[in-house]
Amino acid sequence: MIEFKNVSKKFQDKYILRNFNLKVQEGSKTLIFGKSGIGKTTIFRLLLGFIKPDEGQLLYKNEELNGKNVWDLRRDAVYIGQELDIADGTVREIIRTILNYKINLKKSFNESELLKLFDFFELHENILDKDFQSLSGGEKQRVLISIFTFLNKKLYLLDEITSSLDREMKNKVIEYLLSKKEWTLIAISHDQEWLNKEGLNIIEMGGNNNGTYN
C-alpha cells in the first residue's frame, strides 16, 4: 500500500532521513518508535505531500506519489498530530467543521454513533457542548480520537496521540485501534504501552536513520 524506497530528506544540509526504506501492507499496524529529533514526524510530512524527498521514491498503491495522487491518499487517510488546539468553538461545532471538509462530505453526523465512542473513551455526552479550548489535554486527545475514528477511513497516521492519557486509557486506545482489522495504521509514539502488542510491526529508529523496514 505504501512504500518508501531509499528516501532521504535534508534540512539545512543535514540529513533528517537517509536511505529510508519502509513497506506498509494494507491492513497492517506499524509503530515507529524512537527518541525525538530523528525524523519520525518527517515520515508523515513526506507521506502527506507537505514536503518532498531529496532522494528516493515514495509510492502509494504502487504509484509514485505526486501532486495529483497525493489527494487520493489524503482522502483515504486520517492524520492525528501532536497539535491539539486544532480549532475554536464547541466540540459539536468542531465536529461539523470536520465533516464539512470536502474529503468527509460522504460521512453524515450520526450523534448516537459518536456518543458510543465518547462513552467507550470515558467522555460524558455533555462534552459536545463544551468549549474545546477549555478541555484538558487528555480530554482533547480522546475527543479527537473519537471524532477521527468515527470517520472510519482506510489509513490512520497517528503522531503521539496517547501522550496525554493515563496508562489505563493509553492501553484502551491502543487496543481499540489495533482491533480494527480493515484499517492500515502507522503510529509514532514514545509511549512504552505500544510495545509488545500482538500484531504490531515495531520500527525502532536509530540516530543515523538508515535502514530497511518491512
Range of the domain at 187: 2-213
7 vs 196 pLDDT, higher one: 7
Closest by CA position to 48, among listed 76, 7, 10: 76
pLDDT tens column, 94-122: 998 888 888 887 777 788 999 999 999 99
pTM over 0.85: yes
Q: How far apart are the first and last CA of the chain?
A: 12
Q: Quick one: pLDDT at residue 148?
A: 92
Q: Which residues pair with 11 in a beta bridge?
A: 14
83 vs 54 pLDDT, higher one: 54
pLDDT tens column, 24-75: 999 999 999 877 666 788 999 999 999 999 999 999 999 999 988 999 999 9
**What's the whole-number mean pLDDT along residues 74-87?**
86
Assign residue 114 the CATH number of its domain.
Answer: 3.40.50.300
Query: In this model, does residue 135 exceed pLDDT 90?
Result: yes
As a whole number, the mean pLDDT across the chain is 90
Percent over 90 (pLDDT), the chain: 73
Residue owning grid cell 462534552: 127
Count of structural domains within the chain: 1
CA atoms of 87 and 85, how far apart (whole Å) = 6
Residue owning grid cell 540516530: 207
Query: In this model, does residue 214 exceed pLDDT 50?
Result: no
Here the cell at position 183 is 484499517
Closest by CA position to 147, among listed 188, 179, 169, 114: 114
Q: Quick one: pLDDT at residue 31?
A: 95
